[in-house]
Structure 1
Protein backbone atom coordinates (compact mmCIF):
# COMPACT_ATOMS: atom_id res chain seq x y z
CA UNK A 1 0.00 0.00 0.00
CA UNK A 2 1.25 3.46 -0.85
CA UNK A 3 0.97 6.43 1.48
CA UNK A 4 1.51 10.05 0.52
CA UNK A 5 3.21 13.17 1.81
CA UNK A 6 2.51 16.64 0.46
CA UNK A 7 5.54 18.91 0.48
CA UNK A 8 5.93 22.62 -0.10
CA UNK A 9 8.74 23.33 -2.59
CA UNK A 10 11.26 24.37 0.09
CA UNK A 11 10.49 21.28 2.20
CA UNK A 12 10.93 19.01 -0.81
CA UNK A 13 14.21 20.72 -1.71
CA UNK A 14 15.46 20.17 1.85
CA UNK A 15 14.67 16.44 1.69
CA UNK A 16 16.13 16.13 -1.79
CA UNK A 17 19.38 17.91 -0.89
CA UNK A 18 19.93 16.69 2.68
CA UNK A 19 18.79 13.13 2.05
CA UNK A 20 16.44 13.13 5.03
CA UNK A 21 13.94 15.36 6.77
CA UNK A 22 11.88 15.66 9.92
CA UNK A 23 9.13 17.18 7.79
CA UNK A 24 7.31 20.49 7.78
CA UNK A 25 7.15 22.79 10.82
CA UNK A 26 3.84 21.17 11.85
CA UNK A 27 5.46 17.72 11.70
CA UNK A 28 8.38 18.86 13.86
CA UNK A 29 6.00 20.47 16.36
CA UNK A 30 3.86 17.31 16.57
CA UNK A 31 6.87 14.98 16.85
CA UNK A 32 6.01 12.88 13.80
CA UNK A 33 5.67 13.21 10.03
CA UNK A 34 2.07 13.34 8.79
CA UNK A 35 1.10 11.15 5.83
CA UNK A 36 -2.22 10.40 4.13
CA UNK A 37 -3.72 7.50 2.22
CA UNK A 38 -4.83 8.03 -1.38
CA UNK A 39 -8.39 8.55 -0.16
CA UNK A 40 -7.31 11.06 2.50
CA UNK A 41 -4.81 13.11 0.46
CA UNK A 42 -7.29 15.38 -1.38
CA UNK A 43 -8.93 16.45 1.89
CA UNK A 44 -5.51 16.98 3.46
CA UNK A 45 -4.55 19.23 0.55
CA UNK A 46 -7.79 21.19 0.77
CA UNK A 47 -7.56 21.63 4.54
CA UNK A 48 -3.85 22.33 5.02
CA UNK A 49 -2.63 23.58 1.62
CA UNK A 50 -5.64 25.48 0.23
CA UNK A 51 -4.62 27.79 -2.60
CA UNK A 52 -0.93 26.84 -2.39
CA UNK A 53 0.83 26.19 -5.67
CA UNK A 54 4.21 24.58 -6.23
CA UNK A 55 3.50 21.54 -4.07
CA UNK A 56 5.07 18.11 -4.52
CA UNK A 57 3.28 14.83 -3.86
CA UNK A 58 5.54 11.99 -2.74
CA UNK A 59 4.55 8.31 -2.60
CA UNK A 60 6.05 5.80 -0.19
CA UNK A 61 5.50 2.13 0.53
CA UNK A 62 4.03 1.94 4.02
CA UNK A 63 5.57 -1.48 4.69
CA UNK A 64 9.09 -0.22 3.92
CA UNK A 65 8.83 2.35 6.73
CA UNK A 66 8.81 -0.35 9.39
CA UNK A 67 7.64 -0.08 12.96
CA UNK A 68 8.24 3.68 13.13
CA UNK A 69 5.02 4.11 11.11
CA UNK A 70 1.96 4.22 13.36
CA UNK A 71 -1.71 4.48 12.35
CA UNK A 72 -3.44 6.91 14.66
CA UNK A 73 -6.87 8.58 14.80
CA UNK A 74 -7.08 12.12 13.51
CA UNK A 75 -9.64 14.01 11.40
CA UNK A 76 -13.07 12.58 12.09
CA UNK A 77 -11.59 9.55 13.84
CA UNK A 78 -9.94 8.29 10.62
CA UNK A 79 -6.65 6.45 11.05
CA UNK A 80 -3.75 8.35 9.50
CA UNK A 81 -0.17 7.16 9.02
CA UNK A 82 2.40 8.98 11.18
CA UNK A 83 6.17 8.40 10.93
CA UNK A 84 8.10 8.69 14.18
CA UNK A 85 11.56 9.20 12.70
CA UNK A 86 13.26 11.12 9.93
CA UNK A 87 12.10 10.41 6.40
CA UNK A 88 14.90 9.33 4.07
CA UNK A 89 14.93 10.51 0.46
CA UNK A 90 15.61 6.96 -0.73
CA UNK A 91 12.27 5.84 0.73
CA UNK A 92 10.34 7.99 -1.75
CA UNK A 93 9.17 5.76 -4.60
CA UNK A 94 8.08 8.66 -6.79
CA UNK A 95 7.28 12.33 -6.61
CA UNK A 96 5.07 14.44 -8.85
CA UNK A 97 3.98 18.06 -8.97
CA UNK A 98 0.64 18.76 -7.32
CA UNK A 99 -0.64 21.70 -9.37
CA UNK A 100 -3.61 23.93 -8.67
CA UNK A 101 -6.32 23.66 -11.32
CA UNK A 102 -9.30 25.98 -10.91
CA UNK A 103 -8.39 26.46 -7.25
CA UNK A 104 -8.12 22.74 -6.39
CA UNK A 105 -5.12 20.45 -6.35
CA UNK A 106 -4.98 18.04 -9.28
CA UNK A 107 -3.92 14.63 -8.00
CA UNK A 108 -2.47 11.95 -10.29
CA UNK A 109 -5.14 9.56 -11.52
CA UNK A 110 -2.96 6.50 -10.84
CA UNK A 111 -2.89 6.86 -7.04
CA UNK A 112 -3.84 3.66 -5.21
Structure 2
Protein backbone atom coordinates (compact mmCIF):
# COMPACT_ATOMS: atom_id res chain seq x y z
CA UNK A 1 0.00 0.00 0.00
CA UNK A 2 1.31 3.41 -0.94
CA UNK A 3 1.18 6.33 1.49
CA UNK A 4 1.84 9.94 0.57
CA UNK A 5 3.71 12.97 1.84
CA UNK A 6 3.31 16.49 0.50
CA UNK A 7 6.41 18.66 0.66
CA UNK A 8 7.01 22.26 -0.28
CA UNK A 9 9.74 22.63 -2.91
CA UNK A 10 12.36 23.75 -0.36
CA UNK A 11 11.59 20.75 1.88
CA UNK A 12 11.92 18.41 -1.09
CA UNK A 13 15.18 20.06 -2.16
CA UNK A 14 16.60 19.66 1.36
CA UNK A 15 15.70 15.95 1.39
CA UNK A 16 17.34 15.45 -1.99
CA UNK A 17 20.49 17.30 -0.88
CA UNK A 18 20.81 15.70 2.57
CA UNK A 19 19.33 12.27 1.85
CA UNK A 20 17.37 12.41 5.11
CA UNK A 21 14.94 14.77 6.89
CA UNK A 22 12.98 15.08 10.09
CA UNK A 23 10.18 16.42 7.88
CA UNK A 24 8.37 19.71 7.56
CA UNK A 25 8.10 22.12 10.51
CA UNK A 26 4.81 20.48 11.64
CA UNK A 27 6.48 17.06 11.62
CA UNK A 28 9.40 18.31 13.70
CA UNK A 29 7.00 19.95 16.18
CA UNK A 30 4.89 16.79 16.50
CA UNK A 31 7.83 14.37 16.70
CA UNK A 32 6.85 12.25 13.69
CA UNK A 33 6.46 12.55 9.91
CA UNK A 34 2.81 12.89 8.84
CA UNK A 35 1.54 10.90 5.86
CA UNK A 36 -1.83 10.40 4.17
CA UNK A 37 -3.47 7.53 2.36
CA UNK A 38 -4.67 8.03 -1.21
CA UNK A 39 -8.19 8.70 0.11
CA UNK A 40 -6.90 11.31 2.59
CA UNK A 41 -4.41 13.15 0.39
CA UNK A 42 -6.75 15.71 -1.20
CA UNK A 43 -8.18 16.73 2.16
CA UNK A 44 -4.66 17.06 3.56
CA UNK A 45 -3.67 19.28 0.63
CA UNK A 46 -6.78 21.44 1.00
CA UNK A 47 -6.45 21.78 4.77
CA UNK A 48 -2.71 22.29 5.15
CA UNK A 49 -1.55 23.58 1.74
CA UNK A 50 -4.49 25.67 0.48
CA UNK A 51 -3.39 28.02 -2.30
CA UNK A 52 0.23 26.81 -2.24
CA UNK A 53 1.90 26.04 -5.54
CA UNK A 54 5.24 24.35 -6.12
CA UNK A 55 4.40 21.28 -4.03
CA UNK A 56 5.78 17.79 -4.52
CA UNK A 57 3.88 14.57 -3.83
CA UNK A 58 6.02 11.73 -2.47
CA UNK A 59 4.84 8.13 -2.48
CA UNK A 60 6.19 5.46 -0.14
CA UNK A 61 5.48 1.75 0.27
CA UNK A 62 4.02 1.49 3.78
CA UNK A 63 5.17 -2.11 4.16
CA UNK A 64 8.83 -1.17 3.78
CA UNK A 65 8.79 1.23 6.75
CA UNK A 66 8.45 -1.49 9.37
CA UNK A 67 7.56 -0.86 12.99
CA UNK A 68 8.50 2.82 12.74
CA UNK A 69 5.22 3.44 10.89
CA UNK A 70 2.22 3.75 13.22
CA UNK A 71 -1.43 4.16 12.23
CA UNK A 72 -2.99 6.67 14.63
CA UNK A 73 -6.36 8.39 14.88
CA UNK A 74 -6.67 11.97 13.74
CA UNK A 75 -9.47 13.92 12.02
CA UNK A 76 -12.73 12.47 13.27
CA UNK A 77 -11.05 9.22 14.29
CA UNK A 78 -9.63 8.36 10.85
CA UNK A 79 -6.32 6.49 11.01
CA UNK A 80 -3.34 8.31 9.53
CA UNK A 81 0.15 6.89 8.99
CA UNK A 82 2.91 8.50 11.08
CA UNK A 83 6.61 7.70 10.75
CA UNK A 84 8.60 7.74 13.99
CA UNK A 85 12.06 8.08 12.48
CA UNK A 86 13.66 10.37 9.92
CA UNK A 87 12.42 10.11 6.35
CA UNK A 88 15.17 8.90 4.03
CA UNK A 89 15.50 9.52 0.32
CA UNK A 90 15.67 5.77 -0.25
CA UNK A 91 12.20 5.43 1.36
CA UNK A 92 10.66 7.25 -1.63
CA UNK A 93 9.04 4.98 -4.24
CA UNK A 94 8.30 7.90 -6.58
CA UNK A 95 7.62 11.64 -6.58
CA UNK A 96 5.69 13.99 -8.84
CA UNK A 97 4.84 17.68 -8.89
CA UNK A 98 1.50 18.55 -7.27
CA UNK A 99 0.36 21.52 -9.35
CA UNK A 100 -2.25 24.00 -8.24
CA UNK A 101 -4.84 24.54 -10.99
CA UNK A 102 -7.76 26.88 -10.41
CA UNK A 103 -7.17 26.74 -6.67
CA UNK A 104 -7.20 22.92 -6.49
CA UNK A 105 -4.20 20.61 -6.30
CA UNK A 106 -4.13 18.19 -9.21
CA UNK A 107 -3.20 14.71 -8.00
CA UNK A 108 -2.02 11.93 -10.28
CA UNK A 109 -4.76 9.62 -11.50
CA UNK A 110 -5.94 7.18 -8.85
CA UNK A 111 -4.96 9.34 -5.89
CA UNK A 112 -7.47 11.45 -3.99
Q: TM-score range by the shorter chain?
A: over 0.9
Q: Conserved in 1, the CA contact under 8 Å of 2:34 and 2:82?
A: yes
3-state SS in 2 of match to 1:63: helix
- Structure 2: gaps spanning 5 or more residues: none
* Deviation readout 1:79-112 (Å, 9 max, x if unpaired): 0000000011011010000000110000000439
Residue 92 of structure 2 is matched in structure 1 by 92
- 2: CA distance, partners of 1:21 / 1:76: 28
| SS state at 1:39 partner | helix
Matches within 5 A, 1:24-39: 24-39=24-39
Quote how far apart the aligned CAs of 1:76 are.
Answer: 1.1
CA RMSD of aligned residues (A): 1.0
Q: What secondary structure sits across from 1:80 in the alignment?
A: strand
2:41–2:111: 8 Å Cα contact kept in structure 1? no
Partner SS state of residue 42, structure 1: helix
Q: TM-score, normalised by structure 2?
A: 0.98
Aligned pairs for 1:1-112 within 5 A: 1-111=1-111
CA distance in structure 2 between the aligned counterparts of 1:42 and 1:54, rounded to whole angstroms: 16
Number of aligned residues:
112
The TM-score with structure 1 as length reference comes to 0.98
Q: Secondary structure at the match of 2:26?
A: helix
Structure 1 segments, 4+ long, off by >4 Å, are none
